[in-house]
Amino acid sequence: MNQVYQENIQVGEVANGLPLTIPVYRIKGNGTGPKVYIQANMHGAEVQGNAVIYQLLEQLKQQPLTADITLVPYANPIGCNQKSGEFTLGRFDPITGVNWNRMYHNHDALIEHFVEQHLESPISDIKQQFHALLVEKTQNLLNGPAHSINTGKRIALNLQRLAHNADIVLDLHTGPISAQHLYCPEYAQSSASYFDIPHTLLIPNEFDGALDEASFCPWWGLSDAFKARGREIPILVEAFTVELGSQEKIDLAQAAEDAQGILSYLTHKEVLLNSPYKPKPMKRFACMLKDYKAYYAPMGGMVEYSAELGAHLKAGEPIAYILRMERYLAEEPLHTLTIEQDAIAILHFASASVNQGTELYKFFTHYFEL
């Protein structure tokens, strides 16, 4: 039985002066495998990842491990408390309007100098020292004058400092109403088949402020910079955003299954010894990020979403009905929306009332089997 350690880290203060804290759980391994960092609930309504961390802890306690695993539920203590009536908001900082998952720091600027200094270093030194540099530079930002960092950036930097210690980073999210899907950097495509997730989005080396990108972009850039100097080194960190399903929902049985998929991936990465976890046989489909298409409401109205999430739709099939009762006598009140090309429906808007231009659905297009 592994010991689980808890530390509460302070990530800010609220208006009455009290500290904002986040629980950090750690389990130790024998030190031979890749370090793992898993967080959940950066977006307030996306709560299922907390249940997955619970189920992971229940399993990991009993499993011999090669590496240290850090698990952080409730990663954003402001987000999950941001309620309006019975709903949780928590996707955007209510003061600045900025997405909570777009405030991580881009450490690209460190790469060139580091490569110059390590042209001949063994890979193990490169790995250890670049991890240390990323952690140190993130800590330096936190050590700067308190007036130089806004609320969301301070939360993000505290999490990023923990994530930069790890070789494997999983950020657990959900869609609004959503099928499970995985954001996977293009170079890690072969790892996607170990998660029990049927839909994978393959993303390029572009930094847009999210934790997965903040975790893998520096290492992808490092590998590219070495290549430009004539030396091939692998990309030494893998990071994923795992979209577990729908927001505002805890499903403990589903969380146990979600945890099994993560444990199967961690088994593939040799984090677990004598592991019983294997990927489930299933058809897995992938789509390049550029082919992940938003479908905006062409008119305002009341929506019945008819496309089943995860369903493979043919061009011309109906995906939703829009009801416009103020036009009942003046025109046809019921409009059928169709999809123009073959697609997989991945997620849809959470509300039945929409403005013209609301993002109704997101679809995989030009998808292929993994």
Closest to Zn ion by CB, 294 vs 325, is 294
Least distance CB 39 / Zn ion (angstroms): 11
Least distance CB 101 / Zn ion (angstroms): 6
Closest to Zn ion by CB, 197 vs 337, is 197
Q: What tokens appear for 193 in the block?
A: 């088949």
Ranked by CB distance to Zn ion, the top (closest) residue is 173
Q: Give 15: exposed, middle or buried? Use CB within 10 Å, 0-12, 13-18, 19+.
A: exposed
Q: Describe the crossing of helices 211-228 and 151-163 by its angle, rounded to 10 degrees.
A: 60
Closest to Zn ion by CB, 97 vs 122, is 97
Task: Give the integer Cα–Cα distance in Å for 34 and 31.
Answer: 8
Closest to Zn ion by CB, 134 vs 210, is 210
Closest to Zn ion by CB, 247 vs 267, is 247
**AA letter at 110:** L
Closest to Zn ion by CB, 46 vs 68, is 46
Distant-in-sequence, close-in-space partners of 316: CB < 8 Å, separation ≥ 6:
338, 339, 340
**Residues paired with 87 in a beta bridge:** 84
Least distance CB 96 / Zn ion (angstroms): 17
Least distance CB 42 / Zn ion (angstroms): 6
Q: In this structure, are residues 161 and 11 in contact, taking their beta carbons and an 8 Å threshold?
A: no
- Paired sense of beta strands 168-175 and 36-40, if any: parallel
Distance of CA 78 to the CA centre of its chain: 18
> Torsions phi, psi of 71, nearest 5?
-125, 130
H runs (alpha helix) in the chain: 48-60, 111-117, 123-143, 151-163, 211-228, 252-268
Task: Give the integer Cα–Cα distance in Å for 93 and 184.
Answer: 26
Residues near Zn ion (CB under 5 A): 43, 46, 173
Least distance CB 173 / Zn ion (angstroms): 3
Closest to Zn ion by CB, 91 vs 327, is 91
Least distance CB 46 / Zn ion (angstroms): 5
Hey, how many other C-beta atoms are within 10 angstroms of the C-beta on 6? 8
Least distance CB 280 / Zn ion (angstroms): 24
